[in-house]
Structure 1
Amino acid sequence: MKVGNRMTLYIVIGLILGIAVGSILSPMADQGWVQWIDQYIFNVIGQLFLNMIFMMVVPIVFISIVLGVYNVGDPKTLGSLGIKTLGFYLVTTSIAITIAMTLANILDPGVGQSDLLDSEEVSEYRTSELEGGETGQAIEQTVDQTIINIIPTNVLNAMATDNMLQVIAFAVFIGIAMISVKDKVGGLVKLFEQANEVVMWIVMAIMKYFAAIGAFGLVATAFTQAGFDAIQQLGMYFICVLLALFIHMAIVYGSMVQFMAKKSFVWFIKNFAPAMGVAFSTSSSSAVLPISLETAQKNLKVRKGISSFVQPLGATINMDGTAIMQGVATVFIAQLSGVDLTIMQMVTVVIIATVASIGTAGVPGVGLVMLAMVLTAVGLDPAAIGIIIGIDRLLDMTRTMTNITGDAAIAVVLDHQQDVKEERQAAKNGGAKA
């Protein structure tokens, strides 16, 4: 079942209708009938679609990583692929947050708006999230704990709690073991391949019959709750984040695809559009992963072995869009607070945001948890997150789209590098025979 142009068109129509309907209802969001429609129609439609996709994430990631590792065939090649993938992810994330902070310092989105720090949203965020809330607990996790937690002590628990980094680690071990006893696991390999066909069929059936209406529901509820009033209040911040996202996608990803993969970026965007549309509506790198894999393999012609390894790993540790939000938000909140960040503080933000992205769940709103960690590290009040939380759901859509586009772009680059390597090997073998 292929990700086709008709499906893309339906998703786009669903997104446009969702934005239009949500924007129309947003000014009346405090009325009972609008709240009823939002809760029992938009939210139900959107969450049912999201749950169906989330239902398939762990099976897809586990099976894809196992097959991806096995298809690489050589542990040395796997190690090389892993190092290159991690290198690309860390570099692009560092570039992303640097672009964001530079742009924010140029546009000054927080200058002259210090009164926002006295808003009720700040007090509510401090009370509900920072004083014993989940965000406060998340901030306490240190780098060493993050590294230790990569290896699961209970695989079933890791799968049950959607701890994707642990699921990936276990899948890599299984894949390497299957390579090591290759002659004895023919039946197991076939079982994984058949399981992969089954789960991908389910995913594409969900996409075919539910994606458009699910996208409508998710976007409609987001715009009903936030709408353009919230955007107007924080207009410069909103524009700054969107502009940084656009620059990063067009220049960084565009250059990678154009010069490193020798492909047209327009071709890339056109063929990856179905996954980008779902990412926009779901705001979840993990939820869109099954569609990202299918789209990259079928439309972008990326090898399954490379796509199945690179993209699930990216959905877990590559958060360029989130890093951009953190960079802009840190400068924005510093400007609201009348604080001039030093060069060393800015470097600290880049390092912490890059490292913090590793092992962070690809679910809606997780960027705010990471932002609280960054703000705390440079001495800013994390309660100020309450100012931007109203429009974060809208920006979450665009940065998730950026996140998964980066994963696919890197997969395309690594796939091209594998083509070049194979061509050189073939030429070398041909020359040796001659």
Structure 2
Amino acid sequence: MNSIESVSRFQMSRRGFLGALGAAAVIPLLAACSPGGVAGGGGGAGGGGGAGTIKFWDMPWGQANYSRAGKDLIASYKPAAGLGAASYQSIQWNNYYQTFSSAIASNTGPAVSSGSGFQAFQFAEAGKIAYADRVVDALKKSGSYDDFLPGVFDALRTSQGQVAIPWQMDLRVLWYRKSLLEKAGVDVPTDWASFLSAGKALKKIGVVGFATGAGSGFNLGGHAIVSMMINNGGGMFDTEGNPDLVTDRNIETLEFFNEMVSEGIIDPAAVSYTSENLLTQWKDRKAGMGINTPGWNASVGDTENDVLVGEPLVSPNGTKGSLYYVNNLMMYTASPNQEASEAFLEWYVDNMKTYWQQKVITAIPVRRSIADLPEFQENAQNVKIVDVWQPISQTYSARSTSSFGALAAVDGGQGMQTFSQTVLAGKSNPKQTLTTFQAAIESLMKKKS
């Protein structure tokens, strides 16, 4: 997997099931299903004897040998008496939406799977997800639950129950190139004021201070803006899960972006930059700082320990925060035996450490014991992400106590694209821009209700 493919995979892996608007046409396949799924992880279609094989579908989350490691792991599964064995199938990202939706609609899909970040929410609303509350109870009883990092279960909890089980994370963190900050004569920023000063100093030496992009099919810029909104104590939704963007904290954040654009800290071309443009900018040492994904130093090809993870910035209001996605494992109602699905999933999350031990995956784990493995501890930047960034990160729902399926459409919708491009252009009225974006989100949520 080359570095550009790595960037693209991060984009696809955390996008919601409705990220591509064209995929909405497939939804009617599931429309006849009753909403809400099976609360509490109850049995699903075909749930009879335990002899049926638990089909586990997995995405290629890492290097070429990741799927081989997954297949070997599943082959080692020894179910309890009366419960079925498990099989492994790798599902490619290309056309994955169609693959899942058509198979699930015909009850020929998996019993358990990994998948895109919002996938479980979408299928839960179609009545196709078996909620994982009993798996959570089992993890608590065994003591494994306490090994998970804070907040990761909350990110997957809905009003109906635990929609999925966390297994790894995709965070938005601040990266900087040490040599360029030294050349500009500034320290690594710790708050908004010092970030602005560092950006101005980098501009004087011909370097972009805040490297990002919001071109077609690529919206890291949107993630960066939302990250800074959360960092400032704002966000996109209120405590009840209603869109709530037109707030003083969010307006203050967009004013900060306006200032960065006016000072030349954000590249004017960022509104159209793709992942390839951004990667080239960093490789050519024309980017000094930016919010990006874990493993960005590897994507850039840094071999000099020069591209490093910074500290979470302190906002003008004294707050810290950032955006993250919790990738997860979900169960489906079309299982040969729900008890077998639950037993397999509990076993899987207690044995998934092998991916990090074999170094076939670069994602950030959700379990402290995996983060403490010597193989993971070798990567100082990933360790810092776990120790410093994960505790202060929040999902899109931020101030809300639960997540919901509409976040998928928000993440990949045109409203987010328009919003980020407007902000990065630096010529918008913050209040009006937020009002327009909120209206777009409200419209999406109304369509999905």
TM-score (norm 2): 0.24
More helix by share: 1
More strand by share: 2
